[in-house]
Amino acid sequence: MKLARCLIVAGVAVFLSAGSAQASEKPEFSFSFLGFHKKLEKYRPKIEKLSRYYGIDPDLALAIAMYESGGNEGLVSHAGARGIMQVMPSTKDSMQLDDDIEAGIKYLSRLKKIFGDQSSKIIAAYNGGPGAVRRDRLRLETIQYLQGVSMYHHLLKQYRKEIDKEAADLKIVEIKNETWRDVSIRFRVSILELRMYNPFLAHRGELKMGARVVAPKISRLGIKKENNELIYIARLGDEQHLLANVFDVSYDEFRRRNHLFLYGAVYPGIVIRAIAREYLLSGWPVNNKK
């Protein structure tokens, strides 16, 4: 894991220096991070209570829930992991628990018994398994996971009051029989802005019945269009795979266009470019000039 440590330390160091540069200014959090935080408000009391019961840092459990599911309870991964904490059925069965959130937090407590207070190893083991961590052989995906969860954890620890305040200006609607365009017109924001707050849902095409969608009370996106490109300035909490979902491009295309390394971090302040797909800017206000 020596190379992994170097990559993670370098990535977190640059992220922290970028974050500290905003310390004297109002921090700008990514739309996805705020959307995750808003959706998890419903589950936060339960996560915090169970975390204290099992001896886990509540902010660590919240950061993992954010990265795993974005607060989308009905999420099922390609591998079969389910729920807020994305627990595999076999793991939940081994815990002898029916509740996905409690199973995930209890699993974290088991990992803590193995690795003590070494949070980085606990996070990596939650994704890649304790065996891989013991052997010092982390997959690139696990390195990305460790970077992302560590970043979310840092934001929760350092900026909780500011995050809560910004999330209070967001609202949630449960989808019945609506499309992205329908919700866009209802909340008077573009489809792109809705996808920014809900990147896990953006990855899955059209909205599904029962999905919970986060939307701002007032549009705050502030994105530019130059020629055939959309220009976005990265914020605290942005992740390249989530932005690729939002802009509806493959991960390879997103990295190529923005000169990013495989599983590399997206640092606050860098310029992000994506193809200007017209439907992303449709809905409101493009089709509603009043």
Q: Is the pLDDT higher at 59 or at 10?
A: 59
pLDDT band at 41 (very low <50, low <70, confident <90, very high): very high
Tokens of 268: 């606050």
From 28, 41, 48, 68, the catalytic residue: 68
Catalytic annotation on 68?
Answer: yes
Q: Which CATH architecture best describes the domain 170-281?
A: Roll (3.10)
If you count them, how many residues does the chain have?
290
Instruction: State mean pLDDT over 234-238.
Output: 97
User: Is pLDDT at 5 greater than 80 in this prediction?
Assistant: no
pLDDT band at 2 (very low <50, low <70, confident <90, very high): low
Q: What is the pLDDT of residues 143-157, one digit of tens each?
A: 999 999 999 999 999
pLDDT at 6: 46
**In which residue are the tokens 């407590």 written?**
109
Q: Is the pLDDT higher at 259 or at 24?
A: 259
User: Is pLDDT at 42 greater than 60 in this prediction?
Assistant: yes
Contact present, 189 and 170 (Cβ < 8 Å):
no
Please give the distance of CA 276 from its chain centroid, rounded to a whole number.
Answer: 23
Q: What DSSP letter does each residue of 132-147 carry, written as one string?
A: HHHTT---HHHHHHHH
User: Is pLDDT at 278 greater than 60 in this prediction?
Assistant: yes
Query: Measured between alpha carbons, how far is 81 from 289 in angstroms, rounded to an integer?
Result: 43
Question: For 83-92, 130-139, 212-221, 280-289, which range has the lowest pLDDT when averaged over its residues?
Answer: 280-289
**In which residue are the tokens 């995750």 written?**
36
Query: Measured between alpha carbons, how far is 136 from 261 in angstroms, rounded to an integer?
Result: 22
pLDDT band at 133 (very low <50, low <70, confident <90, very high): very high
Query: Measured between alpha carbons, how far is 48 from 40 in angstroms, rounded to an integer?
Result: 11
pLDDT band at 290 (very low <50, low <70, confident <90, very high): very low
Q: Which CATH architecture best describes the domain 2-12+26-167?
A: Orthogonal Bundle (1.10)
Contact present, 16 and 27 (Cβ < 8 Å):
no
Could you tell me the residue ranges of all domains in the chain? 2-12+26-167, 170-281
What amino acid is encoded at 222 in this protein?
G
Q: What is the pLDDT of residues 169-207, one digit of tens each?
A: 999 999 988 999 999 998 999 999 999 999 999 987 789
pLDDT at 263: 78
Q: Which residues contact 117 (CB under 8 A, 6 or more apart)?
A: none
Most confident range, picked from 21-35, 79-93, 237-251:
237-251
pLDDT at 220: 87
Query: Measured between alpha carbons, how far is 127 from 148 in angstroms, rounded to an integer?
Result: 12
Q: What percent of the chain has pLDDT over 90?
A: 68
**In which residue are the tokens 């995050």 written?**
163
